[in-house]
Each structure stands twice: as C-alpha cells, then as structure tokens.
Structure 1
Amino acid sequence: MANRQALRELQTRLADRLQAARTNTSLGASWLAVQMGRHNYLLPLEQAGEIFSWPGVLRVPYTSSWFWGVANLRGSLAGVVDMCAYLGHPIERTEQSLHEVSLLTINPALQVNAALVVDRLMGLRSADDFISTPVEAAQEPGRAQPGMVGASSYTDSAGSVWQVLQLHQLVQSPQFLSIRV
C-alpha cells in the first residue's frame, strides 16, 4: 500500500511539473522521459497530456493486440494503447504489474482520445541532459513509421540511450488509427 501511495505522489509531482513546464519555458525542460518496457523514450512536452494511475480497462473485442480497450479518465473515454506491442517489442504483463503502470494521455490538441501505457515515469528532461547521437536504422523499433521515432538518439550521463517519440506523427499514422484486427 505504501508503494501505491509513493507512486501516486510521484505521479502528482510529475503532473505538477509537467504543467509548470508548459507554462514556464524558463525551466528548459522539453521532454517527458518515460520507460515503456525496457526502452527509454522522450516525449515532447507539448504533445503529452495528463498522467493517470492504472484505472483498469474495458477490453474491446476484435481489435489489434496493442489496443487494450478503453478507460474512463476523469469522465472522458480514452483508447488505451500498449506502445511496447505497437512498436514491436511486446512484453508479458501480469495483473500485479498492471497496477504499477501509468497511463499518459496524448495532448488534446492532437485530437485523438488515447492514452499510452507507461511502465515508469522518469521525469522531465532538457537537451542539456543528453549527448545527441545518430540512430542507426537497425536500432529503430520494428513497427515505428519513419519520423515517429526521432532521427537521433540521446545518451544520458549514466549511459542510457533515449529516443524521441513524436506523438504528433503517431496520431497521424493510418496503422495507429486503425485498431481493428
């Protein structure tokens, strides 16, 4: 129970910082850092929405395996997408592990009611936190369309590699918009 409370507090702090970063450009943060499965992604702040703890999902039959169903997020229905499966690196999840994930909505300005399953929220990052390096084609996740995953990766001081995930490209993809099998 204490872990859940700590997770909720972290999510609240991150949501507050995300909102502050949107309204105050002096912070210099330009990305929300997340882990999806064993992969690190940087999501542009202006494309990210709100962060929610796992609310449970109403499954929708006859949809792609990466589309988990719909969730009620503060009175609004959002499609829930497992980005690990969508990007071609699915992971096995248990009922217990689902209570440790978060949902990150896509900014309403992008006009898609969707939430992405995020395994870990890693905070806000700026370009100063990384060293830019070119991405080799072999490193790009399997299903990512050109332009969705940035043309460069970033390495942090711990040596972890991060890729920018362009949500505005994702929501324009016909593959993403077609959830049927």
Structure 2
Amino acid sequence: MDAATPAPLDPTDGPPAGERRSSLRQYQVQLLERMQAAKSGAAAGVRELGVVIAGRHYLLDLTQIGEIVTPQPVSPVPLARPWYLGLANIRGDLTGVIDLARYQGQPGAVAGTSAATSAERRLITFSPKLGFNCALLADRVLGLRTSSEMQAVAVPGAGAPAWAAHQFDDGEDRRWTLLDLAQLVREPRFALVGF
C-alpha cells in the first residue's frame, strides 16, 4: 500500500454499530417528543422557530413547518416569478423553494452573501397539512423562541399582509415578525409562480 492510498477503516474505531443505532434512535425519539410537546402546547410556551431571512427576524409556528434541511441544489423553473427559486429534491420529493424577501419585493436572500452565511442557510419545509410542497430559504436558523415572552408591537397602518401582521420586540431590541404560513399559502399571489 503506497502513501497516497488511504488506510482501510478499522471496524473497531468508534462505538460499535449497535450502539450508534441505539444513540440515533434515542435522539430521534427525544426530538419527536419535543416536537409533539411543542405542537400540543406542553413545551412551556415554546411554539416558534426563530429564523433570519434577508436580514429580518421571523418566527415560524412549529405546527406549520415540516423539517429543517441543508440547502439542496435547486433546478430553476422556466417562466417562474423571481421569488420562486425552483425545485429541490428533498428526501425524494420535489419541493418548491421560495425566497420570501423577493416575494415581498425586497432584494433576494441569495444576492450578496458570503460563504460564511451560505454555510448557515437552511430550507424550512412547510407542514404537509398546509397542502403546499414548499420550503422557505432562510439565511440562518436561530432556534426556539417564545413570542409570549416578547412585547407585542402594533403594526403601523394596514400595509402588512395577514400572514405577517403580528410583530414583537424581544429584550435585545430585535423586531420579530410572526410568519403565518397558513395565511401565506391562502394568498392568491402565492399560488401564481409562473408568468
């Protein structure tokens, strides 16, 4: 064996395969329990996931999201709106990828980002119960948040859409918008991805 050929893996390195499967199963069970507790309201008020999209902070209701995955290659769709980035293969399902910033007429989340931020990006899929096989492109996932522990802010004027009508300030002077995905998918413009 020459120096360029990697040494074969030693099956005795690391924990035994049975122990790894057990740890993975235990982690999955704990994660499932936490998600179910959050959806049932038993998680001490923790109901939202905090994310950053194009520099703005959003809260996503845990009952309205499916899963968080690393970005997959996106295949553009001809004649689609600029906010509809295309289709990605997520666990064997073709999923539409949405740039929420562009949907709102702002500069896109993809433009002008560094390699450091692109490593933090995630796709957040919609819950299957919403009936839309879509995912939002998020610049960063910040973890679980509780809007009930934040100060509600009156949204000025009637300009905010129904799916972004609730805003909150946290103790660190950050403004959060509660993103109601169920309202978003009901917006007629959301279903019109083509020209």
TM-score exceeds 0.5: yes
The reply to whether residue 115 of structure 1 matches residue 130 of structure 2 is no
- Which aligned runs of 4 or more in structure 1 are off by greater than 4 angstroms? 17-20
Corresponding residue SS for 1:121:
strand
Q: Distance in 1 between matches of 2:159 and 2:140?
A: 21
Which residue number in structure 2 is paired with residue 82 of structure 1? 99
Offset, 1:147: 0.8
Q: Which moved more, 1:86-95 or 1:47-56?
A: 86-95
Unpaired segments ≥5 residues, structure 2: 1-26
The reply to whether residue 147 of structure 1 matches residue 167 of structure 2 is no
CA contact (8 A) 1:32 1:124 kept: yes
1:87–1:18 CA distance, 2 compared to 1 (3 A):
farther
RMSD: 2.5
Q: Distance in 2 between matches of 1:128 and 1:161?
A: 14
Aligned pair count? 163
Structure showing greater Rg: 2
Unpaired segments ≥5 residues, structure 1: 1-11, 141-145
Q: Distance in 2 between matches of 1:68 and 1:117?
A: 9
Q: Distance in 1 between matches of 2:170 and 2:38?
A: 20
Q: Distance in 2 between matches of 1:85 and 1:19?
A: 32
Offset, 1:122: 1.1
Which residue number in structure 2 is paired with residue 65 of structure 1? 82
Query: More strand by proportion, 1 or 2?
Result: 1
Deviations 1:65-110 (CA, angstroms, capped at 9, x unpaired)? 0001100111111000011111222231458454431000011000
CA contact (8 A) 1:54 1:99 kept: no
Deviations 1:88-145 (CA, angstroms, capped at 9, x unpaired)? 22231458454431000011000100000011111111134311110113884xxxxx
Deviations 1:39-85 (CA, angstroms, capped at 9, x unpaired)? 11111111111000011111111100000110011111100001111
Corresponding residue SS for 1:55:
coil
1:134 alignment partner, one of 151, 154, 169: 154
Which residue number in structure 2 is paired with residue 22 of structure 1? 39
State how 1:1-16 maps to structure 2 within 5 Å: 16=31
Q: Which has the higher contact order (CA 8 A, sep 6+)?
A: 1
Q: Distance in 2 between matches of 1:137 and 1:83?
A: 21
Q: Distance in 1 between matches of 2:84 and 2:64?
A: 20
Offset, 1:27: 3.1
1:81–1:31 CA distance, 2 compared to 1 (3 A):
same
Corresponding residue SS for 1:50:
strand
The reply to whether residue 172 of structure 1 matches residue 192 of structure 2 is no
Q: Which moved more, 1:121-130 or 1:111-120?
A: 121-130
Kindly, what percent of the aligned residue pairs are identical? 35
1:70–1:135 CA distance, 2 compared to 1 (3 A):
same
